[in-house]
Chain A
Amino acid sequence: MEQTWRQAKAAFAAVSAPPIVWLLLFFLVPLAVVWAYSFGVNSGPVTIDFTGTFANYTRALEPLYVGIFWKSLIVATLTTLLCLIVGFPVALAIAFSSPKAKAWLLLLIMLPFWTNLLIRTFALIAVLRENGYVNAILEWMWTHASGLMTLVGLQPLGDFEPLTLLYNNTAVVIGLVYVHLPFMVLPLYSALDRMDRSLMEASLDLGAGHLRTIWSVVVPLAAPGVASGVLITFIPALGAYLTPDLLGGTDSQMIANVIERQFKRANDWPFGAALSFLLMYLTFIAVAVQALVQRRSERRG
């Protein structure tokens, strides 16, 4: 017989109490405190007066901070878009490979998760820096091309100028795409893997080519997977802290870096709290948009 929690209240309470208490104590209460800070002022190095002022929020709406919010949104959107463009073919390839290859390919996608983010980011620095691997390969190609040109009697190329790949916005986007790609590939893969193969065969059977089939049948049917992939890539990318901190230059600050500064060097907790909550509200909007897309596609299919 089916039992609902109403029929076993004691057991339900016993099982659910620990997580509820945990969440309350270590998540909701601190969150409420930070929320209260955002309406306070610093009255000393370690004391905050809860005055109920909106001054922190007014300050957060100054062009400087709005600009950083805007920039974070653009970087996160770009990151998500690139992850989608790179991730979709990858997910498609994994979904259509043999069961044995599938397991290995998925493992490859998951592998970076098992390495510390800091180590991965430093590894990326080694790849991208002025005398890093990318530039070394480019230089090798440059000198050989130059040698080849002298060989056929042409003017040799000039000296190799290493590309500046690090400490700018490009580096931040590259780093964010690298870090977040698995978040995009996995939901896409699970959506594509679940798809009824005969739908694709039907499309081919009716005269569509492979690309047309992907565009007209596979992509629309993978829409829920795309939506959840976009969301779980966009949210952490928007709040990214370590990647812009290590790979970015002076103009690559994202909102999380500004927040960190308020809580540490600037020691302005109330303002940091206000910025944090604004970031959270942005995230809520993203989730709401995703839920809307999801509901619409569910109604369709």
Chain B
Amino acid sequence: MTETAPIQSSAGRQTSSAEDGVIITFENVTKRFAGVTAVDNVNLQIREGEFFALLGPSGCGKTTLLRMLAGFETPTEGRILIDGKDIAALPPNKRPVNMVFQSYAVFPHMKVFDNVAYGLKMEGVDGGEIRRRVEEALELVKLDGYGQRMPDQLSGGQRQRVALARALVKRPRVLLLDEPLSALDAKLRDQMRSELTSLQEKVGITFIMVTHDQDEALAIASRCAVMNRGVLAQVATPADLYEFPNSRFVADFVGSVNMFEGVLDEDEPDHAVVRAPELAAPVYLDHGVTGARGSTVWVALRPEKIEMHKRNGGEPPKMEDAPAGTNVVPGTIRDIVYLGSETNFEIELEGGRRVKTFRSNLTRYDQEDFTWDEPVWLAWHACSPAVLLS
């Protein structure tokens, strides 16, 4: 992105005072409400220019973390640094961050123009400059010409754009977004997703978004932190979260998964074997897992990574990267959900355990291949399962 952006953070792209372009640091941050720990000893660094997502189920502490950054809550313990400076003493109106609220919080008694101009007036920016910057911000969110409207004459999506413009016009170091897409209908949500990412690329400001929707986080963010009960479960890129989860919680929360409890039977540098009672064959992996032999582990298999083959009396399919007799189990189709682009199957294994698998409908006749109560083989590659130690 080398084009000159119309709105840039006031500090521009100067090298920040902290090392490695780190803009925000949470240091051992804990927040308790009347004895309930909402945020538990969080350590986290967010870098300049990132689109960072705080992802987690409701009540996991992600919103509290965001509100501590905005200044609406104070940490019980620990420090929050922006550009290397502790912001504990700064009230919300003095912080170099701005927020887009979940309800948008567009002032209903002010015109769109005055809503966007509000923050600049508080800074004491002069009239002509205000007009220029407000118009620029409205153009940025594609609301040029809407300045004289009242908020009740706008749709929900437009109101959100007003909230975005109102925050961005202040040229904050960091823009905070609290569940930005949750109040929009499905179609608008998809549109806003891509608009948010392109907007962020355009203005070059660090965005931090809170969401409970994993699809949203994976689609938008450049890096995500998954939170669970106030604790950071994993901080990684969307692809790493999905393909290399570090715990059962993350594997289960991000995307759909089949989880099997098992025992680590072999663990060599180049391969490992896990035996799971619910699976008729051992699970062969093409990498070591650095766990103690005989310890309990969990195998996480994403539904789209399971192949399905017909089983009418034939030999089990052989996976080229796994020894014969591993990574293949028999089962029976119990449920079929046709979704157009793909079909979801539920297969009952011999022990009674049900497994999900997705199958892309590559041709127009694919969906006729399998039917209810059909015996099948399920097979997967040695690189597909993730082994989880916790």
Q: Check if A196 sits within 8 Å of B103, measured CB to CB.
A: yes
Taking the complex as formed, is B173 at the interface, i.e. its CB lies under 8 A from any CB of chain A?
no
Query: What's the count of A-B pairs with C-beta under 8 Å?
Result: 67
Taking the complex as formed, is A203 at the interface, i.e. its CB lies under 8 A from any CB of chain B?
yes
Given contacts A198-B102, A300-B150, A301-B152, contact A204 B93 (CB under 8 A): yes
Residues of B contacting A209 in the complex (Cβ-Cβ under 8 angstroms) = 93
Given contacts A196-B103, A198-B101, A198-B102, contact A204 B108 (CB under 8 A): no
Shortest beta-carbon distance, A9 to chain B, in Å?
39
Q: Check if B98 sits within 8 Å of A205, measured CB to CB.
A: yes
Q: Check if B105 sits within 8 Å of A196, measured CB to CB.
A: yes
CA distance A216 to B117 in the complex (A): 13
Name the CB-closest residue of B to A298: B152
Partner of B98 from the list A206, A217, A220, A297 (CB cut-off 8 Å) is A206
Q: Check if B109 sits within 8 Å of A204, measured CB to CB.
A: no
Partner of B107 from the list A199, A207, A212, A297 (CB cut-off 8 Å) is A199
CA distance A196 to B101 in the complex (A): 11
Chain A residues numbered 127-179 whose CB sits less than 8 Å from any CB in chain B: none
Contact residue range for chain A?
20 to 34
CA distance A212 to B92 in the complex (A): 14
Q: Check if B170 sits within 8 Å of A207, measured CB to CB.
A: yes
CA distance A82 to B170 in the complex (A): 39
Taking the complex as formed, is A61 at the interface, i.e. its CB lies under 8 A from any CB of chain B?
no
Residues of B contacting A196 in the complex (Cβ-Cβ under 8 angstroms) = 103, 105
Q: Check if B108 sits within 8 Å of A301, measured CB to CB.
A: yes
Chain B residues numbered 72-102 whose CB sits less than 8 Å from any CB in chain A: 72, 91-94, 97-99, 101-102
Given contacts A201-B72, A221-B108, A301-B152, contact A206 B119 (CB under 8 A): yes
Residues of A contacting B93 in the complex (Cβ-Cβ under 8 angstroms) = 204-209
Shortest beta-carbon distance, B7 to chain A, in Å?
15
Residues of A contacting B167 in the complex (Cβ-Cβ under 8 angstroms) = 205-206
Given contacts A221-B109, A300-B108, contact A201 B101 (CB under 8 A): yes
Shortest beta-carbon distance, B100 to chain A, in Å?
9
Taking the complex as formed, is A108 at the interface, i.e. its CB lies under 8 A from any CB of chain B?
no
Q: Check if A202 sits within 8 Å of B109, measured CB to CB.
A: no
Taking the complex as formed, is B70 at the interface, i.e. its CB lies under 8 A from any CB of chain A?
yes
Per-residue A-contact encoding for B196-229, CB less than 8 Å = 1, 0 else:
0000000000000000000000000000000000
Contact residue range for chain B?
20 to 34
Per-residue A-contact encoding for B90-130, CB less than 8 Å = 1, 0 else:
01111001110111010111000000001100110000000
Name the CB-closest residue of B to A300: B109
Name the CB-closest residue of B to A217: B107
Residues of B contacting A201 in the complex (Cβ-Cβ under 8 angstroms) = 70, 72, 92, 99, 101, 105
Shortest beta-carbon distance, A177 to chain B, in Å?
29
Taking the complex as formed, is B161 at the interface, i.e. its CB lies under 8 A from any CB of chain A?
no
CA distance A85 to B85 in the complex (A): 42
CA distance A57 to B72 in the complex (A): 62
Given contacts A207-B122, A207-B170, contact A202 B107 (CB under 8 A): yes
CA distance A198 to B104 in the complex (A): 8
Q: Check if B105 sits within 8 Å of A207, measured CB to CB.
A: no
Residues of A contacting B108 in the complex (Cβ-Cβ under 8 angstroms) = 199, 221, 300-301
CA distance A216 to B94 in the complex (A): 18
Per-residue B-contact encoding for A184-211, CB less than 8 Å = 1, 0 else:
0000000000001011011111111100
Given contacts A207-B170, A301-B109, contact A202 B99 (CB under 8 A): yes
Q: Check if A205 sits within 8 Å of B99, measured CB to CB.
A: yes
Name the CB-closest residue of B to A202: B105
Name the CB-closest residue of B to A212: B122
Shortest beta-carbon distance, A216 to chain B, in Å?
8
Partner of B105 from the list A199, A216, A220, A300 (CB cut-off 8 Å) is A199
CA distance A4 to B24 in the complex (A): 61
Residues of B contacting A300 in the complex (Cβ-Cβ under 8 angstroms) = 108-109, 150
Residues of A contacting B71 in the complex (Cβ-Cβ under 8 angstroms) = 204-205
Partner of A205 from the list B70, B102, B150 (CB cut-off 8 Å) is B70
Which 9 pairs, one residue from A and one from B, show the smallest C-beta to C-beta distance?
A: A206-B119, A207-B122, A202-B105, A301-B108, A198-B105, A204-B92, A198-B101, A220-B109, A207-B93
- A205-B70, A206-B170 known; 13 new pairs, CB 8 Å cut-off, are A199-B105, A201-B70, A201-B92, A202-B105, A203-B118, A204-B91, A204-B93, A206-B93, A206-B119, A206-B166, A207-B170, A297-B109, A300-B109
Residues of B within 8 A of A (CB): 70-72, 91-94, 97-99, 101-103, 105, 107-109, 118-119, 122-123, 150, 152, 163, 166-167, 170
